[in-house]
C-alpha cells in the first residue's frame, strides 16, 4: 500500500508539472512580428576606415528592432565580377568581421557565390569589393544570403516550446497565406521577438510587416 501511495503521489506530481508547462506555453506569445530585410552590410572598424577614412565612426540613422542595432546614414557600392549595386545600406554597430547580406537575385547580378547562411557563419562564403567615398575594401570571405530565422529571448523560446538552433515551420496569414519550413530559432539574450525574411521571400508570398506569423507546433 505504501508503495502504491508513493507511486500515485509521483504520478500526480508529474501531471502537475506537465500541466504547468502546457499552461506556460499556452499563455506565451503566439503571433510573431515580421521584419523584412533588404540587402545590407555589417562592417568591421578596419573596413569602415578603408571606405570612409581613418578614425571614422558610423552615423546612426534609426534604431532597428533588435536591441543595440541601427541603420546608418552611410551606404557603399558592392562590386562583383559581373556587375555592381549602388547605395547598399550599412547597419551598425561595427562587427569583428565584415558581412555582406544580399538577395539571391543579387548574386546573379554581381556574379558571386553567396551561400544560404545564418549571420556569422561566413566560412567559405562569397567575396566582393566594397567602394566608399574614401577608398575600397576587399571582402575575401563574407557574402551570404540570409537564412530565414526568428529572434527571441530564451524565456520566449520556452513559452513557444522551441530551442536555440531548432528548425521550425511557420504559418502566415494573408491572400497567399501558407507555411514555410526550415526557419531557424535564434534564442539568445538581448533579442527582440521578430521573424526575419528577405524582400524576395516577402514579395513572393505576399508577406508584409502586418502579416501574422505563428510557429506551427503539433503539441500546442
The pLDDT tens digits of the residues spanning 135-167 come to 999 999 999 999 999 999 999 999 999 999 999
Handedness of CA 152, 155, 157, 159 (dihedral sign): negative
Strands (E) located in the chain = 34-37, 40-44, 60-63, 70-79, 84-95, 99-101, 116-117, 126-131, 136-146, 149-152, 167-172, 178-187, 194-198, 213-216
C-alpha cell of residue 66: 533588435
CA–CA separation, 177 and 165 (whole Å): 25
How does pLDDT run across 107-134, given as a tens digit for each residue?
999 999 999 999 999 999 999 999 999 9
Burial of 109-139, coded b for 16+ CB within 10 Å and e otherwise, reads: ebebebeebeeeebeebbbbbbbbeeeebeb
- Cell numbers at 61, concatenated: 540613422
Contacts of 171 (CB under 8 A, 6+ apart): 177, 178, 179, 213, 214, 215, 216
Query: How would you class 23 by CB atoms within 10 Å of its CB: exposed for 0-12, middle for 13-18, buried for 19 or more?
Result: exposed
17-70 per-position pLDDT tens digit: 545 444 444 444 468 999 999 999 999 999 999 999 999 999 999 999 999 999
Per-residue pLDDT, 31: 82
| Higher pLDDT pick, 219 / 161 | 161
* Integer Cα distance of 141 and 68 in angstroms: 25
Answer whether residue 12 shows pLDDT above 60.
no
* 3: pLDDT strictly greater than 80: no
90 φ/ψ angles, rounded to the nearest 5 degrees: -95, 140
Tens digit of pLDDT for each residue in 159-197?
A: 999 999 999 999 998 888 899 999 999 999 999 999 999
The cell numbers describing 180, all together, are 514555410
Does 14 score more than 70 pLDDT? no
Amino acid at each position: 500500500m505504501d508503495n502504491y501511495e508513493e507511486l500515485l503521489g509521483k504520478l500526480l506530481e508529474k501531471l502537475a508539472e506537465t500541466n504547468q508547462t502546457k499552461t506556460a506555453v499556452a499563455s506565451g506569445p503566439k503571433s510573431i512580428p515580421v521584419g523584412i530585410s533588404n540587402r545590407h552590410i555589417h562592417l568591421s572598424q578596419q573596413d569602415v576606415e578603408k571606405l570612409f577614412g581613418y578614425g571614422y565612426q558610423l552615423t546612426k540613422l534609426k534604431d532597428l528592432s533588435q536591441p543595440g542595432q541601427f541603420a546608418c546614414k552611410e551606404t557603399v557600392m558592392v562590386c562583383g565580377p559581373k556587375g555592381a549595386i549602388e547605395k547598399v545600406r550599412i547597419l551598425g554597430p561595427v562587427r569583428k568581421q565584415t558581412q555582406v547580406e544580399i538577395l539571391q537575385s543579387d548574386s546573379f547580378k554581381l556574379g558571386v557565390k553567396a551561400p544560404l547562411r545564418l549571420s556569422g557563419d561566413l566560412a567559405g562564403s562569397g567575396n566582393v569589393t566594397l567602394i566608399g567615398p574614401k577608398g575600397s575594401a576587399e571582402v575575401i570571405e563574407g557574402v551570404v544570403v540570409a537564412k530565414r530565422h526568428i529572434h527571441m529571448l530564451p524565456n520566449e523560446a520556452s513559452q513557444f516550446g522551441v530551442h536555440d538552433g531548432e528548425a521550425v515551420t511557420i504559418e502566415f496569414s494573408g491572400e497567399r497565406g501558407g507555411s514555410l519550413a526550415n526557419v531557424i530559432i535564434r534564442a539568445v539574450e538581448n533579442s527582440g521577438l521578430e521573424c526575419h525574411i528577405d524582400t524576395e521571400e516577402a514579395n513572393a508570398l505576399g508577406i508584409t510587416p502586418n502579416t501574422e506569423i505563428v510557429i506551427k507546433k503539433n503539441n500546442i
